[in-house]
Chain A
Amino acid sequence: MTDPILPLLAGVVAALFALGLFAAIAPGRAMRIVPLASAGLCAFAAVLAAIGLLAGGRMQTLDIPLGLPGTAMRLGLDGLSGFFLLLLFAVATAASLYAHEPHGTEDRHALACFPVFIGAMALALIAGDGFSLVFGFELMALASWATVLARHEEAGVGDAALLYIGMVVFAAVCLIAAFALLAPPDAAIVSGLRFAAIRAAMPPEGWRAGLVLALVLFGAGSQAGLAPLHVWLPLAHPAAPSHVSALMSGAMTKVALYVIIRVLFDLCGPAQPLWWGVPLILMGAASAVLGALRANTEADIKAVLAASTVENVGLIAIGIGVAMIARAADLPSLAALALGGAMLHAANHGVFKTLLFLCAGAAQHGGGSRVLARLGGLIHRMPVTTACVLVGSLGLAALPPGSGFASAWMLLQSVLAGPRIGGLALQILFAITAALMAMAAALAAAAAVRLIGVGFLGRPRTPRVAAAEEAGPMARRAMIGLAIASCLLGLLPGPVLRLAGPALRVLAGSSVADRAGTLVVAPGTGLPGYAAPAIAVILGLALAATLLVLRRFTRPGHRRGPAWACGFAAAPPWLPFGDPLTQYGGASFSQPLRRALGTSLLHAREQIDMPRPGETRPAGFSVTLRDPAAVYVFAPLGRLHGVIANLADRMQPLTIRRALGVMFAALVLFLAVIALLEAI
């Protein structure tokens, strides 16, 4: 009897595509059922993926008579794809529920793309050959690009969409080339792209291996937001509607990381050199610090979250890199610790970042803006949303006993254990990486405090936000569900790691059964580890004891009075909440960090325009920030593009005779190259 899980999952993907088509043509009223139908399909698929993982994550394949002419499309499911599928469908269920809110269904264009986007991500995850993987990956990127473009009339969105489509095409070029290099040279085109055939063939060596590494890191890494290709991410992710942004940050970056793990860990075989992990660690560490720093300087709450996604993707990439080095050095236990930490962090980040984006969407809808300088005081008007933001931020700031801490703990443990591999250069790399990870974590904590403190606490900065309304019932359900999931992930990292067990056994060559107890996660057999429930209990006991002593020995209750602040003047009648400028805002909160770190890392420059005494014009202050990747990578590329466009422009005024001549010459050149290649 064949296992029904993979066919059913393929059916869900097909149904999601059909749902997108339905949303595009259905009459207005029927369109409203699309989010709920999508949520139902995703919940069903999440259960399927969980059953597959619990049953041991056996490898299964399925051929579908679609795809490239003359051959079937191969789908596959194993422990690795099952783990990421479970994450994808779990967060997609919540995002779909959130989309049921009236403001989620008003835009038909974005709504039609949404199920297609989820289906395409799932297709990339259940792909069993290079063609379906790249097809799903590109469809996913295009669907999310289309939702970004749906709001093209807003300022800045057009540029973001243009940059994004460039990255999408770049990723396609890189991945197609990578699979071309991986396919066994003597096989037929399509059967050779099947993962089984690639695994059976000789693993790439020498320059081919290096090229595959570079192509995959640039292709999939650009979609994941790894530095230096992260520049588009804090622009494009916030531009989409919130439930789509949530999936872009929470799930799409994970699909890209899945592709990195799938190709570099699985398809390239275990016998790769030691240095293979080093580029991943370098890119990861750079992403972690730059992303976390930018999360402190962005003015838009969704851009803050998107920048923090860059940071978390960096942390996961560090884990993958350490795992690759450890596997090459034949330390399967360390490899499993690092890869397990990376997968756990992917799951944790997927959940808490989806939660935070949904909350940001609720704050934007309720408070009328997503710019920090126009928010404030939401905790009084939107208590449920604020509570959910607090839970999500516990993960964002990697604080115990939240979800981000357990996986950050495992990743740090793997880096701290890294020097066992040996080699002075590598050891120093690990020491610096550990310091940068700690700095990224502290920066993320500062960003979380800034996000909540400026956006949700304090006094309202505009009348609109003073009258904010709590999120709708469906959105609240989605956020509360994700908040509970995030708490459970934080308290029980062991069981989640066991779900990753089948993948770790295959990829890292070591089981996690001995270190992923129900209660404790330990770096190795017999070593003391991190026991999240125990820490939660100690914390709870300490809190209970504190409250008990307070209740027993101190006077209960409190009085209310005006704020002190060394003589805080009563608010004038025309400014009922006081002058918003007397509060600390987003820019002032991050000013010390901007000066201390931003000056060197982000080219932060301050311009102060101080009128002389007697002049009546206002004083001015402005800050410019430039991401180094934008300055050193994207700007030269843009200039190169201009040069090429100018060259191509010369072809424009050719006469038809000359144009035909150029085409003929190109054809001859092309044939000559083919003939030469044949001769070799």
Chain B
Amino acid sequence: MIGTALDILTGLAAEILHLALMLAVAPLLIGCIRTLKARLLGRIGPPVMQPWRDLIRLARKQPVLAENASFLFAAAPAIGFAATLAAAALVPSFALGMSTAAVSDLLVIAGLLALGRCTLALAGMDVGTAFGGIGASREMTFAVFAEPALILVIFTLMLLAGTTNLDGVAGVLREGSVGLRASLGLAMIAMLAVALSENARIPVDDPATHLELSMGREAMVLEYSGRDLALIEGTAALKLLLWFTLIGTVFFPFALATPDAGLLAWPLGIVAWAAKTAVLAIALACFETAVARMRMFRVPEFLGIALLFGLLAAVFLFVNAGFATGGG
């Protein structure tokens, strides 16, 4: 009885620490990537803390709403942020067995992110300006090609782990008893491509563009200002960290603290999480510096390749299992 109560408390503590870390680190991550990219281009770049300062500055300002903006427009940033925060609560960063472990389903995480996306797309259409419509249309179109690739990655993970529960998947992959690593590699490539698209990064979209016609997501939220814009920027930062954490937890599950390892495993887990996130951030900065942005209509091809990799990952597993059972 005391044991279960302690487990619940530990799970809750891990959850709170996890969320606090995610919220604190997300803007820092954006700052790191910006600084890294600037350095790679030979500029000094803004300080790492700049996104945090921007958020605080924006949050102090009252938003200006368009005259014909509806209640949906005013409510959308909070709903979008809450959906992303809820999804972030489900993705384990440094410890398994958080209090949300039982409900941390991969399909639910994808669904919550889609909820945030649809809310902001609707808000983009609300004022009735062309830029909002263009952004919303592009955002929803990219998702049409990203989701099938994502589902095939989940399919592969389901084949390996027998569940779509993220905590369960990470637990199985952490044991290292998974035979074929080639499938996981292919699935990871697909996942990375989906992550680039979902976070509106180069080559799908450019978060730093200042030309409205070339904007994707930025055009969608063009009407926002003040604390609403702070929420939206925060959502984008949190979403990027969420995807980094998701990729780290699924494909590099080492040093994740298990529930029975106790609190002592947490520091190691946190250090490992920071290291994984840093590696992914450096990789992203290098990739974005090296690669140009694609034409809008090339994006379906880019994500089609991700889809192909996802399918190959699943087929490799089928064939492998076929040989294993067919031989015996």
A contact set with B: CB distance below 8 Å: 376-377, 379-380, 383, 390, 397-400, 405, 409, 412-413, 416-417, 419, 424, 427-428, 431-432, 434-439, 441-443, 445-446, 448-450, 452-454, 457-459, 523, 527-531, 534-535, 538-539, 541-543, 545-547, 550, 553-555, 557-566, 568, 577-578, 582-584, 588-593, 595-597
Instruction: Say yes or no: A588 contacts B137, CB within 8 Å.
Output: yes
Q: Which B residue's beta carbon lies closest to that of A544? A: B82
A400 proximity list for chain B (CB < 8 A): 108, 111-112, 115
Q: Can you list the 7 inter-chain pairs with the closest CB atoms, starting with the nearest?
A: A584-B133, A453-B125, A458-B128, A438-B151, A459-B128, A565-B129, A543-B82
| Residues A434 and B152 in contact in the complex (CB < 8 Å), given A453-B125, A563-B129 | yes
Instruction: Say yes or no: B125 contacts A457, CB within 8 Å.
Output: yes
Instruction: Say yes or no: B86 contacts A539, CB within 8 Å.
Output: yes
Of the stretches B24-32, B70-78, B249-257, the one at the interface is B70-78
Instruction: Say yes or no: A538 contacts B100, CB within 8 Å.
Output: yes
Instruction: Say yes or no: A458 contacts B62, CB within 8 Å.
Output: no
Of the stretches B155-163, B240-248, B284-292, the one at the interface is B155-163
The answer, yes or no, to whether B143 is at the interface (CB within 8 Å) is yes
B67 proximity list for chain A (CB < 8 A): 560-563
Given contacts A449-B121, A535-B86, A542-B89, 11 further A-B contacts (CB under 8 A): A400-B111, A446-B141, A453-B125, A453-B133, A457-B125, A543-B78, A546-B85, A554-B230, A562-B67, A593-B141, A596-B297
The answer, yes or no, to whether B275 is at the interface (CB within 8 Å) is no
Q: Which of A436, A454, A539 contacts B125 (CB 8 A)?
A: A454
Identify which of residues 156-178 in chain B touch chain A, using a CB-to-CB cut-off of 8 Å: 158-159, 163-165, 167-168
A450 proximity list for chain B (CB < 8 A): 140
Instruction: Say yes or no: B311 contacts A431, CB within 8 Å.
Output: yes
Q: Which of A443, A535, A546, A564 contacts B66 (CB 8 A)?
A: A564
| Residues A377 and B133 in contact in the complex (CB < 8 Å), given A424-B318, A432-B311 | no
The answer, yes or no, to whether B118 is at the interface (CB within 8 Å) is yes
A577 CA to B148 CA in the complex, in Å?
40
Chain A to chain B contacts (Cβ below 8 Å), 23 pairs: A377-B68, A383-B71, A416-B155, A427-B314, A431-B311, A431-B315, A432-B311, A434-B155, A435-B148, A442-B140, A457-B126, A530-B108, A538-B90, A539-B112, A542-B82, A542-B86, A545-B85, A559-B65, A562-B67, A566-B212, A584-B137, A588-B133, A596-B145
| Residues A565 and B125 in contact in the complex (CB < 8 Å), given A528-B168, A558-B74 | no
Report the minimum CB–CB distance from B202 to chain A (whole Å): 19
Instruction: Say yes or no: B163 contacts A528, CB within 8 Å.
Output: yes
B159 proximity list for chain A (CB < 8 A): 419
B101 proximity list for chain A (CB < 8 A): 528
| Residues A555 and B222 in contact in the complex (CB < 8 Å), given A561-B64, A564-B66, A583-B128 | no
Instruction: Say yes or no: A535 contacts B108, CB within 8 Å.
Output: yes
A131 CA to B218 CA in the complex, in Å?
61
| Residues A529 and B64 in contact in the complex (CB < 8 Å), given A416-B155, A554-B59, A592-B137 | no
A595 proximity list for chain B (CB < 8 A): 297
A383 CA to B71 CA in the complex, in Å?
10
Q: Main SS of the interface on chain B?
A: helix
Report the minimum CB–CB distance from B218 to chain A (whole Å): 12
Instruction: Say yes or no: B118 contacts A562, CB within 8 Å.
Output: no
Report the minimum CB–CB distance from B328 to chain A (whole Å): 14
B296 proximity list for chain A (CB < 8 A): 592
| Residues A546 and B115 in contact in the complex (CB < 8 Å), given A409-B108, A417-B158, A578-B128 | no
Interface-centre pick from A431, A448, A541 (highest chain B CB count, 10 A): A431
A452 CA to B72 CA in the complex, in Å?
11
Instruction: Say yes or no: A565 contacts B140, CB within 8 Å.
Output: no
The answer, yes or no, to whether B147 is at the interface (CB within 8 Å) is yes
Report the minimum CB–CB distance from A432 to chain B (whole Å): 7
The answer, yes or no, to whether B193 is at the interface (CB within 8 Å) is no
Instruction: Say yes or no: B68 contacts A380, CB within 8 Å.
Output: yes
Instruction: Say yes or no: A528 contacts B70, CB within 8 Å.
Output: no
B contact set with A: CB distance below 8 Å: 59-72, 74, 78-79, 81-83, 85-86, 89-90, 100-103, 105, 107-108, 111-112, 114-115, 117-118, 121-122, 124-134, 136-138, 140-141, 143-152, 154-155, 158-159, 163-165, 167-168, 212, 222-223, 225-227, 230-231, 296-297, 300, 307, 310-311, 314-315, 318-319, 322
Instruction: Say yes or no: B108 contacts A438, CB within 8 Å.
Output: no
Report the minimum CB–CB distance from A447 to chain B (whole Å): 9
B300 proximity list for chain A (CB < 8 A): 596-597
A390 CA to B133 CA in the complex, in Å?
18
B65 proximity list for chain A (CB < 8 A): 558-561
Q: Which A residue's beta carbon lies closest to that of B304? A: A596
B122 proximity list for chain A (CB < 8 A): 449, 452-453, 457
Q: Which of A435, A443, A554, A590 contacts B60 (CB 8 A)?
A: A554
Instruction: Say yes or no: A563 contacts B315, CB within 8 Å.
Output: no
Report the minimum CB–CB distance from B150 to chain A (whole Å): 7
Q: Which A residue's beta carbon lies closest to that of B129? A: A565
Instruction: Say yes or no: B318 contacts A427, CB within 8 Å.
Output: yes
Q: Which A residue's beta carbon lies closest to that of B159? A: A419
Instruction: Say yes or no: A424 contacts B319, CB within 8 Å.
Output: yes
Q: Which A residue's beta carbon lies closest to that of B166? A: A528
Instruction: Say yes or no: A583 contacts B318, CB within 8 Å.
Output: no
| Residues A564 and B223 in contact in the complex (CB < 8 Å), given A416-B158, A446-B140, A527-B163 | yes
A454 CA to B130 CA in the complex, in Å?
12
Report the minimum CB–CB distance from B115 to chain A (whole Å): 5
Q: Which B residue's beta carbon lies closest to that of A594? A: B141
Instruction: Say yes or no: A531 contacts B103, CB within 8 Å.
Output: yes
B151 proximity list for chain A (CB < 8 A): 412, 434-435, 437-438
Instruction: Say yes or no: B79 contacts A543, CB within 8 Å.
Output: yes
Instruction: Say yes or no: B222 contacts A445, CB within 8 Å.
Output: no
Interface-centre pick from B145, B158, B311 (highest chain A CB count, 10 A): B158
Instruction: Say yes or no: B118 contacts A448, CB within 8 Å.
Output: yes
A446 CA to B132 CA in the complex, in Å?
15
Instruction: Say yes or no: A419 contacts B168, CB within 8 Å.
Output: no
A596 CA to B296 CA in the complex, in Å?
10
| Residues A445 and B59 in contact in the complex (CB < 8 Å), given A416-B158, A453-B122 | no
| Residues A593 and B128 in contact in the complex (CB < 8 Å), given A416-B155, A539-B82, A546-B85 | no
A590 proximity list for chain B (CB < 8 A): 137
Instruction: Say yes or no: B64 contacts A560, CB within 8 Å.
Output: yes
Q: Which B residue's beta carbon lies closest to that of A379? A: B70
A380 proximity list for chain B (CB < 8 A): 68, 70
| Residues A564 and B222 in contact in the complex (CB < 8 Å), given A459-B68, A542-B85, A555-B61 | yes
A530 CA to B100 CA in the complex, in Å?
12
B111 proximity list for chain A (CB < 8 A): 398-400, 405, 409
A452 CA to B119 CA in the complex, in Å?
11
Report the minimum CB–CB distance from B32 to chain A (whole Å): 24
Instruction: Say yes or no: A554 contacts B227, CB within 8 Å.
Output: yes
Q: Which B residue's beta carbon lies closest to that of A539? A: B86
Report the minimum CB–CB distance from A539 to chain B (whole Å): 5
A550 CA to B230 CA in the complex, in Å?
10
A409 proximity list for chain B (CB < 8 A): 105, 107-108, 111
A597 CA to B301 CA in the complex, in Å?
11
Report the minimum CB–CB distance from B82 to chain A (whole Å): 4
Instruction: Say yes or no: B102 contacts A528, CB within 8 Å.
Output: yes
A379 CA to B64 CA in the complex, in Å?
20
Q: Which A residue's beta carbon lies closest to that of B102? A: A528
Report the minimum CB–CB distance from B316 to chain A (whole Å): 11
A562 CA to B118 CA in the complex, in Å?
25
B222 proximity list for chain A (CB < 8 A): 564-566
A530 proximity list for chain B (CB < 8 A): 103, 105, 107-108
A309 CA to B149 CA in the complex, in Å?
24
A578 CA to B151 CA in the complex, in Å?
42
A368 CA to B67 CA in the complex, in Å?
24
B83 proximity list for chain A (CB < 8 A): 539, 542
A538 proximity list for chain B (CB < 8 A): 86, 89-90, 100, 103
Report the minimum CB–CB distance from A69 to chain B (whole Å): 55
Q: Which B residue's beta carbon lies closest to that of A531? A: B103
B310 proximity list for chain A (CB < 8 A): 435
A553 CA to B226 CA in the complex, in Å?
13
